[in-house]
Structure formats: structure tokens, C-alpha cells
Amino acid sequence: MGTPATRSNSFEVIALDGVCTHVLQFCTAGESTDWLQAISTNINDLTQDSIKTVNKYCSADDQIVHMGWVCEQTAGADADRDADAAHCCRFLALRGSALLIFRTPPILASDWTQAEASFHLCEVLFKVHKLWIAEDCWIQTKLYMGLQQDGELRDSEPFCFSVLLGHGQSFCFSVELGSDLVLWEKAFQRAVFMEVQRVRSKSYMCSSQGKILCFTIDFESGFSCSDTLSKKIIWKYKFSQLKGSSDDGKTRVKLLFQNSENKQIEMKELEFANLTAVLHCIHSFIAAKVATVDPVFVSNQSLTQKYMCSS
């Protein structure tokens, strides 16, 4: 199936069912941009109202931090030959401990259990694609919070981010505006911070020198490794003592800690069945720890929680 040529003065409006569509064309690109921005702003405002409504009836551990439409970039698809395969609408939600991926937005309470996929936030790594493209190029991208820009050129889509998962899989998504990309980045930071604050610690089974051990990341005390049978702690370090790490991309990681007494570097080599998940979790806990000493982040976080839980 061919795709229409990119036109900067038009965009396509898509209904929630993903079936009903209409192409709107304007006299100038400027008019198209103004309408696109206005509609996107209205959709964002309605989404925030929906979030507030849902959160009023949810526990503190099940709050929605952010949700909205994105465009999934499918690797290996030939956009010129199969546009639908190359770009798919997805509805993402950051709620409680999970990143949820839907094909259609959850409307009823029961819809929230019908997610296409769910991933634990502590083991999810969010990464913005840093592409130095002029701001006005956004008009060439697809709008997927209820809208879709006419055209399928992936190279013209500057506002992209990746979600790297604990089991090694990754998703690449794009949004239509730079402001939406900023919203998603901040939302992921808040959601991960809140989840780390909830769980406080995470433990993973590992092995070292033929012994089965338990590796723990604790928000208060840092890193520790203990014997699985006796529960005796073999070694323990603070977050600030971690000076570096390296891994083989498969199962093994080397953690470099600085001894607090003699200032020497001590290496701990561990092997995990789920190494990527462990590395992402370490990143989440360190990021959350750093955030607690950032007065701007803490202030914004308090305001966000107050806003989300308000009636």
C-alpha cells in the first residue's frame, strides 16, 4: 500500500477506535500548525482531567502519573511499502508500579486489566533520542494523541524516545510535539521516583565464585550481597561508593566500589540470569537517590502528588 506525500498544510484526525479518519487541509502550513497545536493542547487538558478523575478513586500506590497516545516505530518495517506496519498507534500509561501499553485507551475500570503489555517501572529505562532538528520540523511528524500527521517519513520525526525493558526488549516511540516529549520524560522520572519510594529495596539472585548469593539494592543503605542460606551479609557499600561498572552484555557485571577506609577500589563480579533488569534497577535507584537532594525536583514532586490526589 502506498502512502500519501507529506504535506505541511494538512493532518489527519483519527477517532478513538482507530478506524474513523478525516484529512483536514488548510490554506497554509501556519494555519495547519495553529490548529494542530490547539487540538493537541485540548487533548492534553482533557487527558489531565481524566487522570484526576481516576486518581480520586485510587490508592496512593495505584495513581496514574501520565498517559497518552504515542506512535510506535517498528524496526525493520519498510515505510514506503507498508506504512501501517512501520507506525502503530499505542496508548501508554504510567500507573502505580507499571508501564502499561494499550491498543486503545482504557475507558472503564475493567479496561485497565486488558493492557497489551505491562512492565515494572524499576526495571524500565527511558531514553530520549537527541536529534538536532529544527523546532519547526515537528509539523512533518505524526500526531497520535487523537491526530496523525499526513506522511510516513521516519527521518522527519525528531521527537522520539526509547523504552528499554528488563528482559532486553525495547520499544521506540515518537510524539508530535517537543513539549509532549518533555512531558513524557518528566513523567517517567516522577513515576520511577515514586515507585522506588514505594518498594524501598529490590533483591535479585546471583552467583559469584560458584556460590549462590542475594544481591540487594536498598534506597537507604545502598548495595549489599548476602548468603542465601544463612542470610549473612558478605559485603555492603553505599551508593556513593560505586565508582564504575562494566558488563559483558549477557550475564556478568563487574561493580567497582571505593573502600571508605583505605580509599582503594574493590571489584565485585556477579553473574545474573536477568542482568539487564538488574542494571536498570540500579540506575532507577541511583536516579531516585540523586533526585532527593535536588530541591527543585522534590518541590515539583510534592506539587505533582498533591495535584494528582486532589479532589
> Average pLDDT of 48-66?
95
> What is the C-alpha separation between 102 and 48, in angstroms, rounded?
18
Which of 50-64, 132-146, 154-168, 251-265 has the weakest average pLDDT?
132-146
236: which strand partners? 224
What is the average per-residue pLDDT within 110-132? 90
Note the pLDDT tens digit of each residue in 83-113: 444 468 899 999 999 999 999 899 999 999 9
Over residues 145-158, the pLDDT tens digits come to 333 333 333 434 56
Which pLDDT value is given to residue 131? 54
| Number of neighbouring beta carbons within 10 Å of residue 22 | 9
Write the Ramachandran bin of 76: left for phi over 0, alpha for psi from -120 to 50, otherwise beta.
Answer: left
pLDDT at 300: 62
* pLDDT over 90 at 258, yes or no: yes
Res. 302: pLDDT tops 70: no
**CATH 2.30.29.30 residue ranges for the chain:** 10-197, 200-273
Domain 200-273 has CATH 3.40.190.10: no
In percent, how much of the chain has pLDDT > 70? 78
The CATH number corresponding to 10-197 among 3.20.20.10, 3.40.50.300, 3.40.50.10860, 2.30.29.30 equals 2.30.29.30
Other CB atoms closer than 10 Å to residue 38's CB: what's the count? 10
Q: Which of 69, 71, 62, 177 is nearest to 121 (CA)?
A: 62
User: pLDDT at position 173, please?
Assistant: 95
Q: 196 near 122, Cβ under 8 Å? A: yes
**Please, what is the average pLDDT of the chain?**
82
Distance CA 5, CA 174 (A): 20
204: helix, coil or strand? strand
The answer to whether 174 touches 70, Cβ cutoff 8 Å, is yes
pLDDT at 149: 37
Question: DSSP of 127-154, one letter per residue?
Answer: EE------GGGGGGSPP-SSEEES---G
Does residue 8 or residue 244 have the better pLDDT?
244
pLDDT value at residue 138: 34
Cβ-contact 85, 74 below 8 angstroms: yes
pLDDT for 121 beyond 50: yes
> In the beta sheet, which residues pair with residue 215?
204, 225
Lowest mean pLDDT of 62-66, 72-76, 109-113, 187-191, name the range.
Answer: 72-76
Res. 254: pLDDT tops 50: yes
CA atoms of 174 and 305, how far apart (whole Å): 27
User: What per-residue confidence (pLDDT) applies to 130?
Assistant: 72
Contact yes or no for 215/235 (Cβ under 8 A): no
**Residue 222: predicted pLDDT:** 97
